[in-house]
Amino acid sequence: MTTQTTAVINTGSGALATKPAAFYDKVLLKTLRARSFNHSAFAQSRPMPRNAGDTVNFRMIGVLAPATTPLSEGVTPTGNTATITAISATTKQYGDFIEFSDVVDFQQIDPIVTEYTKEQGVQASETIDVLVRDEITAGTNVIYANNRVSRATLAAGDIPTLDLFRKAALTLKKNKVRPAANGKYVALISADTVFDLMDDAKFKAAFQYGMDNKPFIEGQIADVYGINFVEVTAGTSKIFAGAGAAGANVHANIVFGEEAYGITKIAGEGDAQTIIKALGSSGTADALNQRQTIGWKINAFVAKRLKEQAIVRVECVPSNS
């Protein structure tokens, strides 16, 4: 019989939390983490120059209606009015670190410091993806499954259907939003949503018809009715836990078009930087060279919805949520 334990390596606090308490196999098991992050993959990248502050202002020109009134000879018509909407976004810093003791260097069997450095790279990527996810799922355009009128009224049985996403795409078309990629709208959906869609008769028929279509991005499950359906890795999809009727978990899926949202970073400051502090680098605060740290930091990043009318949130209660 095998026994699974969690954090047995933690025998103290701070640096001592990583002191080995037993022999470990030299080969570390794969960390249970997502490896693809699609929320940020479709964002418009809008880099800012250095030394230009931490705030960027986007400008969106208002739509001009068709001028269908004929001109009268010699009469100057009343002119139109130009409108510009300003959208501001302010970058922020993000980061994390882990403290190790000097005992790790000569007692640790496996290369745990090296592996945690890699893991922090994944952590940084997932942090960015979650920040983008939280921004784009906070929009005002929403469609509820089964003709419900609010999140609180969604209940078990209000599962996702293909018609829900077709309605979202129709909303984008009526808003005159152009497709996001390869002439298609994009739907970022949870794994539980995928499970139910695969049982939807209309989705199944369209999916089987287009089985020869090659996916254009990792995670794409289907290209049907002008929508590229992309599965969001479990753990990074947006779920409103217990927000539905009788405590149902409500899943937020996103359908969007061109220039719906963007990410902004200051040139040279928007990528994760690995920061390593060696033993004794704290001076008298580490007089006996007992503490070392590895960490990462992003100096400037922000995600922002750019066109509210270009994003539709589809909320539902998948059967396996």
* Domain around 20: 14-27+34-42+90-132+264-304
**Distance (Å, rounded) from C-alpha 132 to C-alpha 154?**
25
Provide the percentage of residues in the chain whose pLDDT is more than 70.
81
Q: Do 157 and 184 have their domain in common?
A: yes
Q: List pLDDT tens digits, range 34-52.
A: 566 889 888 888 777 777 7
Is 59 inside a domain boundary?
Answer: no
Strands (E), the chain: 44-45, 55-61, 84-90, 92-101, 142-144, 185-189, 220-224, 227-231, 238-240, 250-256, 261-264, 273-277, 291-305, 311-316
Is 117 inside a domain boundary?
Answer: yes
Is 63 inside a domain boundary?
Answer: no
Q: Do 153 and 250 have their domain in common?
A: yes
Q: Do 296 and 311 have their domain in common?
A: no
Q: Do 199 and 248 have their domain in common?
A: yes
**Distance (Å, rounded) from C-alpha 108 to C-alpha 21?**
9
Tallying the residues shown for the chain, one arrives at 321
Predicted TM-score (pTM) of the model is 0.81
Q: List pLDDT tens digits, range 152-199.
A: 999 999 999 999 999 999 999 999 999 997 889 999 999 999 999 999
Q: Do 283 and 311 have their domain in common?
A: no
Q: Do 126 and 206 have their domain in common?
A: no
Q: Do 194 and 233 have their domain in common?
A: yes
Q: Do 206 and 285 have their domain in common?
A: no
In the structure, what pLDDT confidence band is assigned to residue 12 with cuts at 50, 70 and 90?
Answer: very low
Q: Do 99 and 191 have their domain in common?
A: no
- Return the number of other C-beta atoms located less than 10 Å from residue 313's C-beta: 21
In the structure, what pLDDT confidence band is assigned to residue 32 with cuts at 50, 70 and 90?
Answer: low
